[in-house]
Amino acid sequence: MSVLPATSIYEGTRIPSPCPTILEIDPSRHDLDDILTVNFGPNHPSTHGVLRLIVDLDGEQVAGIRAVIGYLHTGFEKTMEHKTYWKGITYPERIDYLSFQANELVFVLAIEKLLDLEVPPRAQWMRMCLSELNRIHSHLVWLGTSALEIGAISMFWYAFRERDMILDLFEMVTGVRMHSRYFQVGGLAEDIPRGFYEQARAAVKRMPKAVDEYEALLDRNQIWLERTKGIGPLSAADALALGQSGPMLRASGVDWDLRRNTPYLFYDEVDFEVPVYGNGDVYDRYKVHMDEMRQSARIVAQCLDRLEELQGAPWIADDRKVVLPPREELHTSMESLIHHFKIVTEGYLVPEGEVYVAIESARGECGCTLVSDGGPKPWRVKFRAPSLAALQATATCVRDCLIADLVAVAASLDPVMGDVDR
Amino acid sequence: MTAGYEATPGLVETRVAHGETTLVVDPARLVEACMHLRDAEGFNQLMDVVAADYLGWGERGVAGYIGTRGGRDIFGPGSQGFRRVPDPKPARFAVDYQLLRVGDDPARVRVQVWLDDGQELETVIGVWPSADWVEREAFDMMGITFHGHPNLVRILMPEDWEGHPLRKDYPIGGEPVRFSGEE
């Protein structure tokens, strides 16, 4: 694949101009009676949170659209500037609350990059394992809710059945179902519990079958096909120009996955395929999600093999200035107690510098820019939200589509409003 | 990998740290530099625009957060303080453009411009349409003005919000809280 051009000035683009995210109706039609302006959201059940779309309708056809966001803005970045790195880890996972492990991972990787810290292989394999389980979890929520919105209600229950199976795994490892704060600078917060491998293997074995079942429900369902095929198309050039990543980009025919193209952790040591579809419509986005769940199950199985080989190996780096000492040492060692106290109260110093780390989260490139002044709190944290980029494509995708399809398209972009608004 | 970027118009400095390349560019020639990087170097995606406020950077006592009770005093009693005082920055604000080359030869580069308060930047929407919302966010959060942006209004904060929350002189918890009983 050669380098594709990205520009707003090219033939055949569907990106609105001059503002790429606003589809304006023809000014001459503004005052006509047959244009109806509808306010969609922000509290509409089908917007996956609090997304507001202002839609100009010509009959049932979408003639103009603009998105209003910010209803879920919580100021995570500002808050994190006031927390030590150790305490800050709990925040990123609440940003994209479905792909929580990915956000946690990217923040931890950014700190480790500044610290130049070596992470033991076992911790890295476990990070990969949980990241992929989290990807399946996120895709299942996407599948369940998106299908629900175009009327396939039963999909929701099936998808959430398997989702619970994965959340049980998270609960087993981390003690909580979501927002686990399990990734620690230097490795993991705790050792992998007994029984995890067996239960995870059962889940991995179940997953491809479950995905087959979902496809059996949807792929020959005439209503589903008509509601998704050819709806909300996005061309490869438009997808690149609009900064799309992840499933959005792959559904538009761009063969790009950060896990394969710029490997991090041990993604270069596992076998997996990157699903690519060419039409860029809602159906292809659905297919990419389905294939990715199968591939993630494959990766998890390989991670489990490696983890079992590494049984007994360290799961956190041996650097007492950054990593909490083992719990049992606190009762016997004065130094350990001091280190524990210092890390928790004051934090550790992270060398001055600026880094950008990007990983492939369930919705695409999840990036973290971290600036440190050498102190114990970040000077500036900024998350690159894949959902924000995906939502920017709304105006391009819904051009000339029907109001009913707007719901299908908005769902297919897979936006998590926590991630969009931060 | 640094070879090749020397031809970037308005290039002031090239830094390589942590395996990342940063091209510091003259703000007046930003769009020209971006066009060059897109067309000649193949950086077809703009992933993020990151604005950072360096007010109070490296100062003893309060490093940032002017007006916040307690501030961010990393020289407070019992603390380790800085190991070394960080190098001064050329201006108050930095705006980073994280570029990505999607293709056979993946690469990342960061274009950085330095600005003082009130100084304007040219928008790069014409280069990468994905700049739209991220530039609006930089405007909303940091008060960086992008000249030529077709819709430069607040994106995350309410339209009538005062101040730019991610600036260092915008204190946490310092915003006025209105109660309906006051009226």
Q: Which of B20, B64, B128 is closest, CB to CB, to A241?
A: B128
Q: CA-based angle A356:A357:A363, to the nearest 5?
A: 120
Residues B104 and B78 in one domain: no
Cα(A20)–Cα(A240) distance, rounded to whole angstroms?
Answer: 13
Give A382→chain B minimum CA distance, Å.
7
B173 vs A: CB within 8 A: no
Indicate yes or no: CB of A356 within 8 angstroms of CB of B110: yes
Determine which helix (DSSP H) or strand (DSSP E) holds A188, and give its type and residue range: strand A187-188
Question: What type of residue is A417?
Answer: M
The domain ranges of chain A are 76-421
Residues B74 and B129 in one domain: no
Sign of the dihedral defined by the CA atoms of residues A279, A399, B146, B52, in that order: negative
- Residues 105-164 of chain B whose Cβ lies under 8 A from any Cβ of chain A: 105-106, 108, 110, 125-130, 132-134, 141, 150-151, 154-158
Residues B68 and B17 in one domain: no
Residues B102 and B49 in one domain: yes
Give A357→chain B minimum CA distance, Å.
10
Q: CA-based angle A182:A183:A184, to the nearest 5?
A: 110
Question: What type of residue is A321?
Answer: K
Q: Model confidence over B125-165: pLDDT tens digits? A: 888 889 999 999 999 999 999 988 888 899 998 888 888 88
B41 vs A: CB within 8 A: no
Q: Is the pLDDT of residue B21 over 70?
A: yes
Residues in A touching B96 (Cβ below 8 Å) = 354, 356, 369
Determine which helix (DSSP H) or strand (DSSP E) holds B171, and give its type and residue range: none
Residues in B touching A261 (Cβ below 8 Å) = 106
Residues B39 and B60 in one domain: no
Residues B107 and B125 in one domain: yes
Q: Of A28, A14, A60, give the one whose Cα is nearest residue A406.
A: A60
Residues B69 and B149 in one domain: no
Q: For residue A318, what pLDDT is reported?
A: 86
Cα(A358)–Cα(A125) distance, rounded to whole angstroms?
Answer: 18
Q: For residue A180, what pLDDT is reported?
A: 86
Residues in A touching B150 (Cβ below 8 Å) = 18-19
Residues B112 and B150 in one domain: yes
B104 vs A: CB within 8 A: yes
User: Does some domain include residue B179?
Assistant: no
Q: Which domain holds residue B78?
A: 56-82
Q: Which two tokens stand for residue A152?
A: 């396939």
Cα(A380)–Cα(A207) distance, rounded to whole angstroms?
Answer: 40
User: Does some domain include residue B182?
Assistant: no
Q: For domain A76-421, is the CATH number 1.10.645.10?
A: yes
Indicate yes or no: CB of B102 within 8 angstroms of CB of A69: no
Indicate yes or no: CB of B129 within 8 angstroms of CB of A114: no
Give A112→chain B minimum CA distance, Å.
11
B96 vs A: CB within 8 A: yes
The CATH number of the domain where B25 resides is what?
3.30.460.80
Residues B50 and B60 in one domain: no
pLDDT band at B1 (very low <50, low <70, confident <90, very high): very low
Measured between its terminal Cα atoms, the distance across chain A in Å is 34
For residue A18, whether the previous peptide bond is cis, meaning omega lies within 30 degrees of 0, is yes
Are the C-beta atoms of residues B144 and B138 closer than 8 Å to each other? yes
Residues B128 and B38 in one domain: yes
Sign of the dihedral defined by the CA atoms of residues A100, A103, A108, A109, in that order: positive
Q: Which of A21, A73, A256 is closest, CB to CB, to B157?
A: A73
Q: Which two tokens stand for residue A242?
A: 């609009």
Residue B42 DSSP label: -
Q: Which of A1, A15, A369 is closest, CB to CB, to B129?
A: A15
Q: Which of B46, B65, B103 is closest, CB to CB, to A243?
A: B46
Please state the domain count of chain B. Answer: 2
Residues in B touching A377 (Cβ below 8 Å) = 72, 74
Close Cβ partners of A231 (under 8 Å, ≥ 6 residues apart): A281, A282, A283, A401, A405, A408, A409, A412
Stretches in chain A below the pLDDT threshold 70: 1-11, 30-33, 44-48
How large is the C-alpha radius of gyration of chain B? 19
Q: For residue A3, what pLDDT is reported?
A: 39
Close Cβ partners of B167 (under 8 Å, ≥ 6 residues apart): B53, B55, B142, B143
User: Does some domain include residue B178?
Assistant: no
pLDDT band at B79 (very low <50, low <70, confident <90, very high): low
Q: For residue A45, what pLDDT is reported?
A: 62
User: Does some domain include residue B108?
Assistant: yes
Indicate yes or no: CB of A376 within 8 angstroms of CB of B80: yes
Question: What type of residue is A162?
Answer: E
Cα(B138)–Cα(A299) distance, rounded to whole angstroms?
Answer: 37
**What are the phi and psi torsion angles at B107 (to 5°)?**
-155, 155
Question: What type of residue is B59?
Answer: E
Are the C-beta atoms of residues B142 and B50 closer than 8 Å to each other? no
Q: Model confidence over A225-247: pLDDT tens digits? A: 988 888 888 989 889 989 999 99
Q: Which of B47, B84, B96 is closest, CB to CB, to A243?
A: B47
Q: Model confidence over B34-72: pLDDT tens digits? A: 988 988 888 989 999 999 998 878 775 544 455 555 555
Final residue before a domain boundary, out of B82, B98, B123: B82
- A52-58 β-sheet, strand order: A35-40, A52-58, A61-68
User: Does some domain include residue B107?
Assistant: yes
Alpha helices in A48-152 (DSSP H): 76-81, 85-88, 92-95, 100-115, 121-149
User: Does some domain include residue B130?
Assistant: yes
Give A396→chain B minimum CA distance, Å.
11
Q: Which of A82, A355, A392 is closest, CB to CB, to B132?
A: A392
Q: For residue A36, what pLDDT is reported?
A: 84
Chains A, B: CB pairs < 8 Å: 165
Q: Are strands B45-53 and B20-25 parallel, antiparallel or unpaired?
A: unpaired
